[in-house]
Amino acid sequence: MNLHESIFLASASPRRRELLAQIGVRHEVRPADVDETPLPGELPAAYVGRVAAAKAEAVWSVAAGAPVLAADTSVVLGAELFGKPRDQSEGLWMLRELAGRTHEVLTAVAVRSEHGLAAALSVSEVTFRALGEDECLRYWQTGEPLGKAGGYAIQGLAATFITRLTGSYSGVMGLPLAETATLLADAGVRIWNCGATGARERAEVTE
> How far is it, in rounded angstroms, from Cα 161 to Cα 171?
17
3-state SS class at 69: strand
35 is an active site residue: no
Which residue in 49, 105, 47 sits closest to 76, CA to CA?
A: 105
> How far is it, in rounded angstroms, from Cα 137 to Cα 205?
36
From the candidates 35, 72, 87, 134, which is the catalytic residue? 72
Report the chain's terminal Cα–Cα distance, integer Å. 30
- Count the Cβ atoms, other than its own, within 10 Å of residue 13: 18
Give residues with Cβ within 8 angstroms of 111, minimum separation 6. Answer: 56, 67, 68, 69, 70, 117, 118, 119, 183, 184, 186, 187
Which residue in 81, 95, 88, 204 sits closest to 152, CA to CA?
A: 95
> How far is it, in rounded angstroms, from Cα 199 to Cα 169?
21
Q: Where in the sequence numbering do the catalytic residues fall?
A: 72
